[in-house]
Amino acid sequence: MPVFAVVSMLVFLALRVLPVDPAQMSLPPSATIEQVEAKRIEMGLTKPVWEQYAVWLGSAVRGDFGESAQYRMPTSTLVLQRLPATIELATCALAFAIVFGVAMGLLIFAARGTVLASAGMVVTSVIMALPDFLLALLFILLLGVLMPLFPVNGRLAPGLSVPDLTGFLLVDTLAAGEPRLFLNALSHMALPVLALGLAFSPAIIRVLHSSLVATYQQSYIRQARLRGLSDRSILFGQALKNAILPVVVLVGTQFGGLFGGTLLVELIFSYPGLGNLMLRAMQTVDLNVIMAVALIYCATTLIFNSLADAGVYLLNPRLRS
């Protein structure tokens, strides 16, 4: 929480020292210098920066992040419209990355010393060299253009619509009892989720693998073998609970990478989420929107950090006592 306060302050200060004038931007280009000056006073821009921050913070805690200069509507409304799409995307991608990464890590470790394990390591290195936005473009090229199996634009086929309940399409389509729409939404999500999830998985594979290797050098694993436990119960009953800890830490600290990746992946798939909103805002220097979205990115990352800390705490008895 203190981190979040510091971050909001830093972002606010950084954006205020920019050589752009929010007052001028919120008026039509034909506005006179006097009109701009009046607007500046109205917007409180003549006050000291600290006071401006206090004013901003005061309204921000009430959920008021000001008005978007470009869309001419409250920033909070804009953000809330887009937020569910991005959360849905990131959650699915993270779930895919964890399932795929942990499965691959276990597989490569269990097959250690064989050709299968080496092949798995090579595949991991290859994926590692392909960041999410390149994977997204490659998928469009291969599965959208050369072999058109998946749609590559938006969240639903044009012309379809779903009653807006939660904003999470997968939930809304199911709630509306429309399996056809659900599948359509799912097929639209397939490639972006795959791109984001796959790009995140090599880190999980490598950390899990090397953590398993390290764990197997511990003397309690040796002792478990000397008690005659089977390989399977050593791996799942003894080693995994210890070896998974670095993976939890990794997911917590590196989640920002995946979440930031939604920005480009949304752009590439024309996916109507926060990322596209942010990119547009940055191109038009829409300060209130930039500020609000940046803080959402930051808050989400921090929440995930704390979740990972809690996970480590639960899994490691040494921290509990």
Partner 1 sequence: MKQQNVLEISGLDVSLPTGDRILSGVDLAIGGGRILGVIGESGAGKSMIGACIADTLPDALAVSAGSIEFDGLPLGSMTRATRRDLLGRDIGFIPQEPMTALNPALTIGQQFGSHLARIGFRWPKERKERTIQLLEDVHLPRSRELLSHYPHQLSGGMLQRVLIAMAFASNPKLVVADEPTTALDVTIQARVAELIARMVETHGASVLFITHDLCLAADLCDEVAVLYAGRIVESGAAETIIGSPAHPYSRCLSLATPTLSGPPRPLLTLPGTMPSALERSVMAGCELAPRCPVAEMRCHTDKPLLASTTTGHRSACHFPERVSAIQAPAEEPQAAAREPGPDVVLRAEGLAKTYIARDWIGRMRRVEALRGLDFEVREGEFVGVVGESGSGKSTLTKLILGLEDVTTGRLDAAGFAGSDRSAATLRALRAQVQLVFQDPQSALNPRRSIGSLVTQSLEVRAERPSRAARSAIARDLLAKVLLPPDVIDRFPDQLSGGQKQRVNIARALCSNPRLLVADEIVSGLDVSVQAQILELLKALREEAAISLLLISHDLAVVRHICDRTVVMFRGEIVEQGPVEEVFGNPRHDYTRALVAAAQGGTSLRKTMSQSQ
Partner 2 sequence: MHGFARYADIRLILSGGAVSAILLMALLAPWIAPHEPNDQDLLSILMPPVFAGGSAEHLLGTDSLGRDILSRLIHGARTAMTVAIFASCGAMLLGSVLACIAGYFGGRIDWAISRMVEIWLSFPPVVLSMLLIVGLGIGTDKVILAIILVDWTRFCRVLRTEVQVTRRQDYVAYARLAGFSHGRIILREVLPGVLPMIVTLFSLQMGISVVVEAILSFVSMGVPADVPAWGQMIADARIDIYSAPWGLALPILMIFVTVLSFNALGDSLNRVLDPRSSARRPV
Residues of this chain that interact with partner 2 (CB under 8 A) are 3-4, 6-7, 10-11, 14-15, 17-18, 112-113, 125-126, 128-131, 133-134, 137-138, 140-141, 145-146, 213-214, 217, 253, 256-257, 259-261, 263-264, 267-268, 278-279, 282, 285, 290, 294, 297-298, 301-302, 305
| Sign of CA pseudo-dihedral 244, 246, 252, 256 | negative
Comparing CA positions, the residue from 135, 154, 138 lying closest to residue 146 is 138
In the bound complex, what is the minimum distance in angstroms from residue 201's beta carbon to partner 1?
25
321 binds partner 1 (CB under 8 A): yes
Is the separation of the CB atoms in 281 and 274 below 8 Å? Answer: no
Q: Where are the beta strands (DSSP E) in 230-320?
A: none
In the bound complex, what is the minimum distance in angstroms from residue 216's beta carbon to partner 1?
12
Comparing CA positions, the residue from 283, 272, 267, 291 lying closest to residue 67 is 291
**Residue 15 interaction partner, one of partner 2, partner 1, none, beta carbon < 5-8 Å per kind:** partner 2
230 binds partner 1 (CB under 8 A): yes
**Residue 213 interaction partner, one of partner 2, partner 1, none, beta carbon < 5-8 Å per kind:** partner 2
**Residue 126 interaction partner, one of partner 2, partner 1, none, beta carbon < 5-8 Å per kind:** partner 2
How many residues contact partner 1, by CB under 8 A? 22
In the bound complex, what is the minimum distance in angstroms from residue 220's beta carbon to partner 1?
5
**Residue 253 interaction partner, one of partner 2, partner 1, none, beta carbon < 5-8 Å per kind:** partner 2
Ramachandran angles phi, psi of 74, nearest 5°: -60, 135
Of residues 219 and 283, the one with the C-beta less far from partner 1: 219
| DSSP 8-state code for residue 269 | T
How far apart CA 83 and CA 271 sit, in angstroms, is 12
How far apart CA 193 and CA 132 sit, in angstroms, is 10
How far apart CA 172 and CA 289 sit, in angstroms, is 27
In the bound complex, what is the minimum distance in angstroms from residue 316's beta carbon to partner 1?
7
| H or E segment and range at residue 321 | none
**Residue 76 interaction partner, one of partner 2, partner 1, none, beta carbon < 5-8 Å per kind:** none
**Residue 321 interaction partner, one of partner 1, partner 2, none, beta carbon < 5-8 Å per kind:** partner 1
**Residue 222 interaction partner, one of partner 1, partner 2, none, beta carbon < 5-8 Å per kind:** partner 1
Environment class of 6 (CB within 10 Å of its CB; exposed 0-12, middle 13-18, buried 19+)? exposed
- The residues, ordered by sequence, that sit 6+ positions from 30 with a Cβ below 8 Å of its Cβ are none
Residues 237-276, mask of contacts with partner 1 (x by CB under 8 A): xx--xx----------------------------------
Of residues 154 and 257, the one with the C-beta less far from partner 2: 257
- The DSSP-derived string for 53-108 is HHHHHHHHHTT---B-TTT-SBHHHHHHHHHHHHHHHHHHHHHHHHHHHHHHHHHH
* Contact with partner 1 (CB under 8 A) among 35, 52, 187, 218: 218
Which residues bind to partner 1, rule: CB under 8 A?
218-220, 222-230, 233, 237-238, 241-242, 315-318, 321
